[in-house]
Structure 1
Amino acid sequence: MTGVDLSGKGVVVTGAGRGIGRAIADLFATRGARVVVNDLDAEAAGSVAREVGGHAVPGDAASEAGVEALIAAARDAVGEVDVFCANAGIAGAGDVTTGEDRWAEMLDVNVMAHVRAARLLVPGWVERGDGRFVVTASAAGLLTSLGSVQYAVTKHAAVAFAEWLAATYGDRGLAVHCICPQGVNTRMLANAGSRRGILTRDTALEPEQVAGALWDAMTAGEFLVLPHPQVRDYTVRRAAEHERWLAGMRKLQRRLDHPDPEEQ
């Protein structure tokens, strides 16, 4: 796909009932796209679809059957799917003692949902030489996520999958973008508990700012979308001085384990 002319393009945004997904759906609709709004919350999906003049397709966007149904319904609503925004994700605290069911759930939503959508869409895009896949990952996928090993691991996997798509199909018509913000004023951040202070140390952004950063990256033809620009510096430091970076993470972990009452 050359440029970022979305006029008449079919766009699917998962997890679009609120937060970042909602902001992306709204922005793309203003750019002339025919937007399919997906969310598990049918009421929220319908509300956003009405606001943006799009089509609500509520339901599961993670399971194999759910992804197949979503893409089929999207094609019925807008014709060909030109852009797929794999935005739906889940978070939550967890450590090495967390059970298999939670691991499976987070892998399903945060990683396999992307894989399943790409499996259905990428071959056709490559054949016609035109398509765009957007992954909403996290700065946790470039760094880590203290307090949630499942989130850290699955977001790293989401980044890795997006990178692989870009490396493999980037010269065959597929544009790939990977969004890696820190704290964003969404329900997920509100439920972050003691980790909220770490996530917002560089200021929490509004979802619309994240959507704007995505648009800027699309315009520039850039893979990595960093709404918090300082994440680039953190990532460079992590690669260049890994031991020092890990020492800093341990220091932050100690703050989580023994919080200062004055910071509460």
Structure 2
Amino acid sequence: MGALHDQGVIVTGAGRGIGRALATRAAREGARVVVNDLNADNAAAVAAEIGGTAIAGDVTAPEVLIDAATEALGRVDVFFANAGIDGAGGHDSLQTPDDVWDRVVNVNVMAHVRAARALVPRWLEDGRGGRFVVTASAAGLLTMIGSAPYSVTKHAAVGFAEWLSVTYGARGIDVHAICPQGVKTQMLEDAGPLQALLSRDSALEPEQVADAAFAAIEEGRFLVLPHAEVAGYYAARATDTERWLAGMRRLQQKVDEAGALG
């Protein structure tokens, strides 16, 4: 039996990719899983595969999802805040319109905040605690070449997860932040010239990311790094920021030469 055996679990953005892998792994460990996705057909298909419950809907209003999932599961013990979007849209992401920024912030950051706002008081009140898992990105630790909205909001997602852990970790709320590099999902396929850069340390299967997440849950680790190399990059960024920035600028030049503008 796994750490989530017989627990009530919500996975957002679970219709495909990392979310689907997380939902599948949770079900295999004996959890009772609510599969959430904006695409109702995808949610229903995954729920049918794993014996879960499909609840379609937009994660930017998670209170409705959480109430429906609580009714279906009895209690929500674990929330995988997995849904996320890129928002690059065009070539020059500095010129990304405000409405796109608002949408990316809503999905990649505020959806997590609203979900925690709804769940954490319930977990504290009944004294049984809970687990909040954010799918961020290595971009949230290192900054990603390309989409400004994606990189900035993933930094914010990691920051919010850290704040949750600091504030509530001693009160029974376990928090984890998943920070992979390239993963074989639709987002990677749509990355254009950035695909090679994101995959240079190897692009993982979504199931490998799920395995890393569940290993961290078992071990009680906050930071989930499916690509082991990211730990070294993260340390280099912190200890010699100027050198790290210079290296990133060189990478940006290579991307520019390949026809992608940051």
1:71-220 residue pairs with structure 2 within 5 A?
71-93=66-88, 95-127=93-125, 128-220=127-219
Distance in 1, Cα, partners of 2:221 & 2:157: 17
In structure 1, what residue type is equivalent to 2:43? A
**What amino acid does structure 1 have at the position aligned with 2:236?**
R
- Superposed CA offset, 1:188-212 (max 9, x none): 1001111111100100000000000
Q: Give the Cα separation in 2 of the matches to 1:33 and 1:208.
A: 17
Identity of aligned residues (%): 60
User: Which runs of 5 or more residues in structure 2 are unaligned?
Assistant: none
1:50 maps to: 48
Superposition TM-score, scaled by structure 1 size: 0.94
**1:229 — aligned with what?**
228
- The alpha carbon displacement at 1:53 in A equals 0.2
The superposition leaves residues 96-151 of structure 1 with CA deviations (integer Å, 9 ceiling, x where unpaired) of 21110110000000000000000000011123141000000000000011111111
Q: CA deviation at 1:83?
A: 0.2
CA RMSD in angstroms comes to 1.3
Q: Is contact 2:130-2:174 (8 Å) kept?
A: yes
Q: Which residue identity does 2:55 align to in structure 1?
A: V
Deviation sequence 1:63-95 (CA, Å, 0-9, x none): xxx311101110111111000000000014352
Q: What's the CA shift for 1:176?
A: 0.3
Aligned pair partner of 2:57 in 45, 56, 59:
59
Partner in structure 2 of residue 33 of structure 1: 31
Aligned partners of 1:91 and 1:209: how far apart in 2?
21
Letter in 2 for 1:40: L
| Alignment length (residue pairs) | 255
* TM-score, normalising length: structure 2: 0.95
Partner SS state of residue 96, structure 1: helix
Residues 2 and 29, structure 2, Cα contact 8 Å, conserved in 1: no
SS at match of 1:132: strand
After TM superposition, list the pairs within 5 Å mapping 1:231-246 onto structure 2: 231-246=230-245
SS, match of residue 35 in structure 1 = strand
1:167-205 CA deviation, whole Å, 9 max, x = no partner?
A: 110000000010000000000100111111110010000
Task: Could you list the structure 1 runs, at least 4 aligned residues long, displaced by more than 3 angstroms after superposition.
Answer: none
SS at match of 1:12: strand
